[in-house]
Amino acid sequence: MKNWLAQLTFAVVLCTAANSMSAQSIDEDYINHLLDSIEQSFQWKTGSVPLGDGMATLQVPAGWRYLPSDQSNFVLSDLWGNPPGASLGMLFPEKVSPLDSNTWAFDINFESIGYVKDGDADDFDYKDILKNLQKEAEEVNPERVKQGYDAVKIVGWASEPYYDKQKKVLHWAKEIQFGEDAAAPHTLNYDVRVLGRKGVLSMNAIGGMDRVQEVKSQVPAILSSVAFNEGHRYQDFDSNIDEVAAWTIGGLVAGKVLAKAGFFAIILKFIKPILIALGLGGAAVWRFITGRRKQEEFPNDGQSS
């Protein structure tokens, strides 16, 4: 049995009780069957993948596989219990599933903020930025808790910010604590930004802190896997017609972009393994389970004879 299957079974039993279905009618084999059905529904891709209506191209690295946008949003929101987002897709190691208890992946987004000038990239004190991030997290926590989300604590840098002026790539990592239990496993939030003509491609690794060295080792391959297409590249900027972003390199690290979308956006970077997600956003999983069960028990229900 997978190490989270017992908790999944318990969650399903609670749901069956609430829905007046016999809890005894759901057994481990049947749950495994349904989970296999979810697993088989994922439409993995490798090779060359277009992103954002031709804005960029992803060459899926060896040892990785790409989950398309619609299914990635389903994983992030319905399976992992995060607020709805606008993922362009996710990159998973080829032997890692979204249903694994120790799953991890890179989530890909585009932030349409305009052309980010990088002339002052060397002028920022990232220690001060970290202090501000920690302070801002504390300030929004009461509202997060009020809305039913865990409090957030920025523990520190898991990897200090680094900007490559030649490749126009910025990356850094934060160690994050969700909830009040300091002894609970912390979350790794590894951010990668690729600067383009009209905004930045955002690739964020989400997983446990035990993955930090593994993630770091994969960053070069991830960085080389994606590129803006001609007309969308950083060097294609036209000052006569293009907008300049209000954000700087330091602003990207400080999370000012996220502030525009609201402070709940940070939870998109936090992995909610399915064993936790069932308590927060498992309604879609439950609809899938009951729907599949009904379909199997009554295959012709709703069809004309």
Among 151, 153, 188, 185, which residue's Cα sits nearest to residue 171?
Answer: 188
What's 233's DSSP letter? Answer: B
| 203 within 8 A of 192, measured Cβ to Cβ | yes
0.85 surpassed by pTM: no
Kindly report the backbone phi and psi dihedral angles of residue 197, in degrees, each rounded to the nearest multiple of 5, phi listed first: -70, -40
Among 17, 67, 71, 78, which residue's Cα sits nearest to residue 44?
Answer: 67
| 65 within 8 A of 45, measured Cβ to Cβ | yes
Q: What is the C-alpha separation between 205 and 174, in angstroms, rounded?
A: 10
Written as tens digits, the pLDDT of the chain (305 aa) is: 343 444 444 444 444 444 444 444 555 666 677 777 788 889 999 999 999 888 999 999 999 999 999 999 888 877 776 667 789 999 999 988 888 777 888 999 999 999 999 988 888 888 999 998 899 888 888 887 887 777 888 899 988 999 999 999 999 988 888 888 777 778 778 889 999 999 999 998 877 777 778 888 888 888 889 999 999 999 999 999 999 998 889 888 887 433 333 333 333 333 333 333 333 334 444 454 445 444 555 455 544 43
